[in-house]
Amino acid sequence: MLTVVWAFDGSEQSLKALDCLSWWPKGSLDLKVLTVLKGPALNELGDAVEFAPDEVAAAQRRFDELKPRLAEMGVAMTAEILSGDAAEVVSAYARGVGANFILAGRRGLNLAQRMLLGSVSSSLLKHASCPVLLVR
């Protein structure tokens, strides 16, 4: 059984990573789908919360949309929402669960965007303690 951490943000590139899961035999994957949100945020009362409630709801909807597609492929998933720097959180989570590899989409930022925003996929490659499969 392979433990795979899928860094899933709902983007088109992230969804393309789903195709890679079909490479493995049914029932051979322990898939952990992880969405990392920036926090903290304010709720509707103005109180500090770990995540913005609407972002959590959107992430949960994306998880719910994945379940039937993965079930069709014979892949069960567990899903979590965490906060912080995406690359660091995904890397630490993968270490914590003993992941065999990390699966992620790559957005393909140009040089200027990478300089201004940084690249999660590049940072993930630097921080991860296991192999990383980037899909574009």
Among 14, 27, 34, 35, smallest CA distance to 76 is for 27
**pLDDT for the residue numbered 48:** 64
Label residue 15 by pLDDT band (50, 70, 90): confident
CB atoms within 10 A of CB 96: 9
Range of the domain at 35: 2-135
Q: Indicate the average pLDDT of the chain.
A: 83
In the chain, the number of structural domains is: 1
Which of 10-14, 35-39, 46-50, 128-132 is predicted least confidently? 46-50
Label residue 123 by pLDDT band (50, 70, 90): confident
| 31/100 Cα distance (integer angstroms) | 11
**pLDDT for the residue numbered 40:** 64
Tell me the whole-structure pTM to 2 decimals.
0.84
CATH code at position 16: 3.40.50.620
